[in-house]
Amino acid sequence: MERKVIDAQDVVVKFAGDSGDGMQLTGTMFADASALFGNEISTFPDYPAEIRPPQGLVSAVSGFQVHVGHKKIKTPGDLADVLVAMNPAALFVNAKCVKVGGSIILDSDTFDLPAIQKAGFKTEDPIAELKLEDYNIIWAPITSLTKESLKDSGMDLKSIIRCKNIFTLGMCYFMFNRPLNFTEDYLRKKFAKKTELIEPNIKVLNDGYNYAANTHAIGNTYNIAPANLEKGTYRSINGNQATAWGLIAASEKSGRPLFVGSYPITPATVILEELALRKNLGVKSMQCEDEISGICTSIGAAYAGNLAVTTTSGPGLSLKSEALGLACITELPLVIVDVQRGGPSTGIPTKTEQTDLAQALYGRNGECPIMVIAARTPSDCFRAAYTAAKFALEHMMPVIFLSEGYLGNGSEPWRIPKMSEFPSINPPIAEKGEEKFKPFVRDPKTFVRKWAIPGTEGLEHRVGGLEKTPEGAVSADPENHALMVANRQAKIDALAEFIPELELFGENEGDILLVGWGGTYGHLFAAVQRLLGEGIKVGLAHFDYINPLPKNSAEIFKRFKKILVCELNSGQFADYLRAKHPQYTYNQLNKIQGQPFMVHEIVSAVKELL
């Protein structure tokens, strides 16, 4: 067979296997090696909630999709060019995720009859049953080759078999012309404390590479040239790490020590883990006894003068709602990060959604307005977290940052910024004074109160959940309550003067305006690019600021004949826009499958609406 090297602009590779097969690690190593090679990348881990579900079942299949490109990559890709399926169940689940005629690498050792039946196939021939005859099926005896490769390694058989993902990775490196050195360096670091594992892992990686090169199992190979990125130093970062780092950056910039009180919850846990690691930068991280303690310790820390943060996902935000009211009425700076997942209740905890928007906007007793912001991409979580902290500290209020499982777990290359590029953060700290401190006397324009930090002489005062007068006395006076409710709302409304205006991508006016918020940005952007290429007059208005809305929102809406609000819920942002700007008609594109949009779904929806 003649082997060709295909120069590709971009390829999508999906690794799929049992939960214990190490697919997340394999995908991450492939993505990192590609990023270090200089490609654009975008990743999408998709895994079950169970840690080690029964092997061989479709419910145990764990997947990791990587999009690698020579040009700007905005999404992890719709369908895969290449699927690696480590067992029949992985093929059963993922065959539909491969482009027609694409390549599928299969471990032939795992395709025995019992495994095929266990995966749910009705016949003995999975390829025929899934109608994959026109696909490029690459059968490789991966398990037995791994055993052969490591037979002299001194490792036990179980450990040897666990290395089959590295063998497979080696095959993929040949197929996509990736250099091995980045991963070899990674393995040396990973096993620095178990040095006996370094050589076997490097050997099996190379054996996988050589197997693919020497046999003709793999036909064509792909060459994806490094991307033409903006000059600078880059690193790969995922959304949860970027969130943690954005918060630390805000702490450094503001001079306020960072306190985080959180309870582990998927998919937000990594933020707490990352912050716990950063004691070298003075982070006080506390793993609390529950979600309520997470927010209440943070409110206590905010009262005592720290930059306070609590991180969670939807069910945790529900538990925190009463305390959010406390943060609102005491007007203390607090950042709440909600990495959204599929709900209601426990729902589908490892899958992504945008279904907590209504909860973030309204989910509290009393009238309790809170600033809500979002992030576009994994690395944009750094900006969003920094911004949330800046607004919380400077405007003395809680801020909810709505992240998403898709953003938190996804990663991309990131041009490393310098701290000097970020705006300063100046909290309104009260100075020692002669006069009695009046906690709820405010700036007439911004409605911001001062922050009197315990330990400061002469500023002793009380705050709390009971309604207070501006002077800080408990009061149930009707007029006072009306005034305080109005002031708290006015403070949120006044933020519109401080947030950036909404920007438009694509046509300045035209037929259809796509409206989105949060992690759907990449897919919406790619869809708009494609539609513009086809001569369709579309624009994209993507919201980073949700409460309050940018003040030019309506002005942008009116320039298009139709508006299509795209979100991963049943229409929560659309409903919010209907309440805020009722003069427009909002068409909807919604998806609630625990999965991100696909670009082609958006493109079709726009064409249907034309």
Partner 1 sequence: MATYTQQDFKSDQVVKWCPGCGDHAILAAVLRAMPEICEKQNIKREQFVFVSGIGCSSRFPYYVNTYGFHGIHGRAGALATGVKVANPNLSVWQMTGDGDALAIGGNHFIHEIRRNVDVNIILFNNKIYGLTKGQYSPTSKFGMVTKTSPYGSVEQPFTPGDIVLGARGSFFARGLDVEMALNQEIIVRAAMHSGCSVMEMLVNCMIFNNGAHAEISDRQFRADRTIILRDGEPMIFGKERNMGIILDSLKLKVVRIGENGITEKDLLVHNSKEDNYGIHSMLVNMKGPDFPVALGVIRDVEEKSYDQNVAEQIEQVKENSKIHSMDELLNSGATWEVK
Site residues for partner 1, window 279-298 (CB under 8 A)?
Answer: 279-284, 286, 288-290, 292-293, 296-298
Please give the residues from 543 up to 582 whose contact with partner 1 meets the rule CB under 8 A.
Answer: none
Q: Which two tokens stand for residue 309?
A: 């943060």
Contact set for partner 1, span 42-81 (CB under 8 A): none
Q: Using CB under 8 A, which of 4, 151, 462, 551 touches partner 1?
A: 462
**Residue among 176, 259, 406, 586 that touches partner 1 (CB under 8 A):** 259
- At 496 the three-state DSSP class reads helix
Q: Which of 381, 459, 515, 531 binds partner 1 (CB under 8 A)?
A: 459
| Residues numbered 213-232 forming contacts with partner 1, rule: CB under 8 A | 229-232
Pick one of 92, 245, 447, 597: the residue that binds partner 1 (CB under 8 A).
245
- Least Å distance between CB 62 and partner 1? 24
d(CA 297, CA 356): 23
Cα separations in angstroms, 485 against 298, 366, 451, 463, 469:
24, 9, 20, 16, 11
- Given the rule CB under 8 A, which of 324-332, 354-362, 554-562, 595-603 is the region that contacts partner 1? 324-332
Q: Which of 140-148, 173-181, 300-308, 508-516 is the region at the interface with partner 1 (rule: CB under 8 A)? A: 300-308
Does residue number 301 form part of the binding site for partner 1 (CB under 8 A)?
yes
Which helix (DSSP H) or strand (DSSP E) does residue 7 occupy? strand 5-7
* Beta-bridge partners for 287: 262
Number of residues that bind partner 1 (CB under 8 A): 71
Q: Which is nearer to partner 1, 218 or 270 (CB)?
A: 270
Nearer to partner 1, 241 or 547 (CB): 241
Compute, in degrees rounded to 10, the torsion defined by CA atoms 267, 269, 272, 275: -70
In this structure, what DSSP letter does residue 40 have? E
Q: Give min distance, CB of 244 to partner 1, in A.
A: 10
Measured from the CB of residue 464, what is the shortest distance to partner 1 in angstroms? 3
Q: Residue 153 or 480: which CB sits closer to partner 1?
A: 480
Distance CA 391, CA 387 (A): 6
CB 292, min distance to partner 1, A: 6
φ/ψ of 81, rounded to 5, equals -75, -35
The position carrying tokens 């654009």 is 40
Contact (Cβ atoms closer than 8 angstroms) between residue 434 and residue 406: no
Nearer to partner 1, 259 or 560 (CB): 259
Q: Distance between CA atoms of 294 and 12, rounded to whole angstroms?
A: 39
Among 180, 323, 385, 565, which residue interacts with partner 1 (rule: CB under 8 A)? Answer: 323
State in angstroms the smallest separation of the CB of 552 from partner 1: 33
Closer CB to partner 1, residue 109 or residue 331?
A: 331
Which H or E element spans position 188? Answer: helix 181-190
Lay out the site mask for partner 1 across 468-497 (x = CB under 8 A, - = otherwise): -----xx-----------------------
Shortest spacing between CB 393 and partner 1, in angstroms:
14
Decide whether 344 or 464 has the Cβ nearer to partner 1.
464
Q: Element (H or E) spanning 588, and its range?
A: strand 586-590
CA distance 540 to 525: 7
User: Binders of partner 1 among 429-458, rule CB under 8 A?
Assistant: 454-458
As measured in angstroms, the least distance from the Cβ of 343 to partner 1 is 24
Which residues are CB-contacts of 393 (< 8 A; sequence separation ≥ 6)? Answer: 250, 254, 256, 307, 333, 425, 426, 427
**Whole-angstrom distance, CA of residue 514 vs CA of residue 537:** 11
DSSP per position, 205-220: HHHHHHHHHHSSSS--
- Rounded CA-CA distance 222/579 in Å is 50
Closer of 32 and 394 to partner 1 (Cβ): 32
Nearest to 47 by CA among 519, 570, 410: 410
Q: How far apart are CA 376 and CA 374, in angstroms?
A: 7
Q: Tell me how far, at minimum, the Cβ of 549 lies from partner 1, in Å.
A: 30
Q: Which stretch binds partner 1 (CB under 8 A): 148-156, 263-271, 322-330, 555-563?
A: 322-330
For residue 312, the minimal CB distance to partner 1 (Å) is 15
Residue 382 CB, shortest distance to partner 1, in Å, is 9
Q: Is 543 helix (H, G, I), strand (E, B) or coil?
A: strand
323 or 563: whose CB is closer to partner 1? 323
Of positions 94, 103, 168, 330, contacts partner 1 by CB under 8 A: 330
Told to check if 326 binds partner 1 by CB under 8 A, we report yes
Minimum distance from residue 58 beta carbon to partner 1 (Å): 35
Amino acid, res. 188: R
CA distances from 313 to 15, 74, 347, 560 (A): 27, 25, 12, 35
Instruction: Establish if 461 lies at the interface with partner 1 (CB under 8 A).
Output: yes
Measured from the CB atom, is 36 or 90 closer to partner 1? 36
204 φ, ψ (degrees, to nearest 5): -70, -30
For 244, half-sphere exposure in the C-beta direction (CA atoms, 13 angstrom radius) is: 26
Work out the end-to-end distance of the chain between its first and last CA atoms, rounded to an integer number of angstroms: 47
Amino acid at site 489: Q
Q: How far is the CB of 224 from partner 1 (least distance, A)?
A: 15
Which residue lies nearer to partner 1 by CB, 262 or 352?
A: 262
Min CB(160)–partner 1 separation in Å: 28
Indicate whether 306 belongs to the interface with partner 1 (CB under 8 A).
yes
Residues 153-212 within binding reach of partner 1 (CB under 8 A): 182, 186
Does residue 359 contact residue 600 with C-beta atoms inside 8 Å? no
Stretch that binds partner 1, among 272-280, 353-361, 489-497, 522-530 (CB under 8 A): 272-280
In whole angstroms, what is the distance from residue 27 CA to residue 77 CA?
A: 14
What are the start-end ranges of the H helices in 304-356? 314-319, 321-330
Applying the rule CB under 8 A, the residues between 29 and 48 that interact with partner 1 are 32, 35-36, 38
- In the complex with partner 1, the residue whose CB is nearer, 138 or 334, is 334
Please say which residue, 427 or 596, places its beta carbon nearer to partner 1: 427
Contact predicate 104/138, CB 8 Å = yes
Q: Within 13 A of 76's CA, how many CA atoms are on the CB side? A: 29
Q: Is 460 in the site for partner 1 (CB under 8 A)?
A: yes
Locate the DSSP E strands across 473-535.
504-506, 510-517
CA distances from 92 to 97, 111, 121 (A): 10, 12, 8
